[in-house]
A and B are shown apart, each in its own frame.
Chain A
């Protein structure tokens, strides 16, 4: 083998890679017929290829795909939402409506920080406190926002206090409901009730 030119081994590899030129191929063949050492070398190299290719074709273990999916990052909420919107257009519209509505309700809750009350004859206002004096009778509902209400007399109607406290004296007499609203949810509930009331009353009017 020592007498053989180095490039012969190189030609062997070219031959095995299948990109040997015609001249190299002829030179290699000529050499191999005359040299048994190189013949054996060539033989062994060919065996390597056969040996490695004899490896069986293994397949991925079962559950491989599920494993990949479990390791994949969760879909961004954006994509998930987009898909949901596509498949439920009506619900999307309803949800959007609700969001806008509640936003307007919340903002009105936050904006209404001013002291205000229902104008009724014969009530007294002291600072941010509305007083129904003893012996007086108020005919109608009283709503006080961002202030306190003190009832010493009679009220023929509902009493509502938003963001405040109401004090009722033992002499007081309220024919309707007494309500104190200090929480956002109470406020919402109150808003919804008053809206339905309005709608109902407009229906009543329509019927009449």
Chain B
């Protein structure tokens, strides 16, 4: 019972991925640009979902998936032409499939009529091209399907296999391929194969006798065996127990001998030799031969091909492909075509996916935590070792150096486990663009780049909302209507560029449109109207552009469905800053706007500046720091006797003495003898933080203070420094808030850092704050 539910979980997880695959594929599908691989991928996805659903008895889901799949199959074999209308229907079908999966997951009944409309729409396509003799009924065979030879999988028998998703797909592929190979034999169904058998030197050591294998091959049909001796060393160098020979066998066998028979012969030595099997027969039908295998080439050179063009579809029968063999066998049987050799497609497909495993996120987080600890311990040891007399303990020092290097690498590898390509977010955007374009009547093209850029999972997850907002904003506000674009001499179709790249340890994401740009006059007048800016204020272009991030600002004249509720860009900015990121906008009137997001690669670590005050050390996030300087006495001024201000970069900033704010004894306390770190909070306010010393920049692991205690004013989180001591990470906005109040005893909540439930925030995963 428990086992079944675990499988179900896997099924739902996989189905969610498959749905996404199908959706991506569908969105790429357009009249004229039908990519067979893509169509196959969609078909496979739907088919796998259906198969697994059958195994768990989700009858509604299976019935619907069947309809969907039938149409996809029609698309696949070109009997249903691709039209925009069809794509829309298929996208809707994909959504419905998603709903059905959700119902199945909850275990609730599907409301009647959920699928009716889409099923009806799907069936329209089935009737159209073919005869309407065989079109009705859910259980009817796929009406638009071509004769079985074209590879329609008979559905009922392989449904149980559906949970293994890709195996199924491989079967489907293999069947298709098998039928293609149907003509690969001689007229009487006899198949000629060229088998090269290159045992490793030590084959004999494991008690295998090549002569037996060759004899077994001979039993399968007429075999012509050629022995190659060129690897044989000179007698003086000969190791009698090593095997230096290899063989080419030309095997002609009846249709009853499938590739599985040959696999069986080599079953026990598959790991100890290279074997290639090549179908050698007239009409060569290499539809899409996979990368040629070197040994196959050798085979065709040494073996004089008997009256036939060589090498149709070389099949790598390397040990790695053994799991595929099982699949292939089934395929051969079902296809009923004597020499169906399985085809590289199916093998390549399973090969792609079988190298991943599904791991519980908690386990990875634990690993990340432990590595974090190791890094700290290593740094701690390194610090102690520094005190050792130089020259002595040379080996110890070298060992530690190596340890440090490995630790660093380990940390990077572990972090990269959590990393995900941004494509999981980017792939949602084409659909959004499509819908928005339809809703606004604009013609929009989305161009994406850098989808493979990787960033921590948590960051990826938190990117969805901001990006959605920004793309909405670009299409709704940025792009002009097609008519307007034509008038100003731009192509009717507007373009939105979405790109991601790594830049100096951060990920930079850009959303750019070629629309009208920010209308600064309108933004300014709107801001004045809303009381966000005092009338008559002189603002630079940049400052005006940045007004769109101010809460409550919206320029849309009419509130639309899409954006214009005044909760757009300010929310984006808040989301981004809460991830430790920054957002900037660049706009040129008439040419478009460009939003640039810069985010840390992970929420678990932070680039910080370590500062000291008295005997305490603190970490200030690098994103907050503008510069640090030591002011001259004449730069400092008292303001109404209460607080000090300092002239920095042409403006007065208020000085905040950290030792006073935090009550730290034995601090320098004088800005002219200590340092002033010019800090900018997320909302753009600046202040000068007076500290004793700046110790240096360091990447620190964010740790929760709340997990075991509570949050504190002016403190965002904590971290552990190289010596194992705890240092607090300062919250610039919180410090500013504190310094405004004469008494700083209250508990105001301000957060400049992400809630440290990020992976490496040790313990916070298991210890939840009350």
A and B found bound together? no
Give the A-binding residues of B (Cβ under 8 A).
none
Give the B-binding residues of A (Cβ under 8 A).
none
